Amino acid sequence: MNVTKAILFTLISSLMFAAMSVLVRFAGETAPVGQVVFFRAAFGIVPITLLVLVRGELMQMLRTKRVLGHAGRGLFSVGGMFLNFASLARLPVVDATAFSFASPLATVVLSAIFLKERVRIYRWSAVILGFVGVLVMLWPHFDPSRYGGFATTATAIGAICGLSGAIINAGAVIQTRRLTDTETTSSIVFYFSLFCALAGLATLPFGWIMPSPMQLAALIATGLIGGLSHIFLTESYRNAPQSVVAPFTYSTMLWALMFGFLVFGEIPLPIVFVGASIIATAGLIVVFRERQLGKRDIDTAPPAP
């Protein structure tokens, strides 16, 4: 174990994740969500493939015994990515990022339902607390006096997409945990990217744009940075337990706040910080409880977009 290295890699991954979110937001202002998903997934394969080539693990990445299992995870991942990117196109970066952190809480609920895991009162309390934080963050987006209508504004749609994406990504985590019984990490990541790329490509007939050089660079960078972020996060877990490094993934909120302000001039409402803090606290409760129980199999980090 190398805790210092693990924390450093987690912080780098969080920085890259926030940078990728900004690029998605920038590209999503003009490009359809499906086109952004394709570039994120297709070019995200590049750094992962280079890594496995360096390690001589190419065949391990391609080999699989559970095609249908990968397809099931791919469906969840595609839905989550489409919803997350739709949220980023309509919400301030920090708002959309905060909603994504509800995913570990949804994972607890789905684990109890589908994996029949025993969830005690401690973690149920964290889920309830996180739900309160979500409600706090949702309220401004449905305030008729602020936006002039209930659930009719772009921000309201973005909030629904963000929360729905977090729940669906929790489903992807559950399916990933099933796959890890027989599949390698590299194969799981590769087939995740492949299914998402094919789903994004399927939207081509529905009106992709011809990107400008700046837009094209942003789209390609979305995939490359997203892939690198995934690699750094995975490497961090090789050097320390998830319960150690997971709290540092919340630094993404700080980067999202800074990038949102510098690039888009976004100044979140104070209530956003209140809701995000509640969600983060609930997530950390789950993390530390897992550490107490000696479990290391819960994916407490936000899913790769």
The predicted-structure confidence for 40-99, as pLDDT tens digits, reads as follows 999 999 998 998 998 888 888 888 888 899 999 899 999 999 999 999 998 889 889 988
Domain that holds residue 34: 3-293
Higher pLDDT, 292 or 2: 2
303 is a domain residue? no
Domains in the chain: how many in total? 1
Count of Cβ atoms closer than 10 Å to residue 51 Cβ: 18
**Span 108-141, pLDDT tens digits:** 888 888 877 777 787 788 888 888 888 888 877 7
256 is a domain residue? yes
DSSP letters of 236-269? HHHHS-HHHHGGGGGHHHHHHHHHHHHHH-----
Q: What is the pLDDT of residue 22?
A: 95
304 is a domain residue? no
Continuous segment of H or E residues that includes residue 158: helix 154-179
Cβ atoms 105, 120 nearer than 8 A:
no
298 is a domain residue? no
| Position 293 confidence tier, pLDDT thresholds 50, 70, 90 | low
305 is a domain residue? no
151 is a domain residue? yes
For the CA atoms of 4, 8, 10, 12, what is the dihedral angle to 10 degrees? 180
125 is a domain residue? yes
Backbone angles phi, psi at 117, to 5 degrees: -75, 145
Q: Is residue 38 pLDDT above 90, yes or no?
A: yes
100 is a domain residue? yes
Would the pTM of this model clear 0.95, i.e. be above it? Answer: no
